[in-house]
Amino acid sequence: MTEQSGKKQLLHLVFGGELESLQGVEFKDLNALDIVGIFPDYASALNAWKSKAQATVDNAHMRYFIVHMHRLLDPTAKD
């Protein structure tokens, strides 16, 4: 838990890039991935994701994702 808020820190990563095809999740160029940032909660990550997704709506191959990092760091924890 964070001392300031008393809430458990649930880190989320937002990133994206251009996909090889619309059917998969393989990126065309891993060096060109857009790492938007790491956010302290899902709501913040969702806002960042929406902003990036809306800004790239004209490119059908561009996709952004939210990764629940807290689940990777502690897979046994309950959210």
* 27 DSSP 8-state letter: B
Rounded-to-integer distance, Cα 79 and Cα 77, Å: 6
In a domain, 63, yes or no: yes
Query: Is the model's pLDDT at 54 over the cut of 70?
Result: yes
In a domain, 69, yes or no: yes
Q: Please give the tally of structural domains in the chain.
A: 1
In a domain, 36, yes or no: yes
Task: Give the domain CATH number at 69.
Answer: 3.30.70.2400
**Most confident by average pLDDT, 3-7, 22-26, 32-36:** 32-36
In a domain, 5, yes or no: no
What is the pTM assigned to this prediction?
Answer: 0.83
Domain range holding 53? 12-73
Position 30 scores a pLDDT of: 96
In a domain, 52, yes or no: yes
Q: Which residues, 6 or more positions from 72, have their beta carbon under 8 angstroms from its beta carbon? A: none
Could you write out the DSSP letters of every residue in 41-76?
Answer: SHHHHHHHHHHHHHHTTT-TTEEEEEEEHHHHH-TT
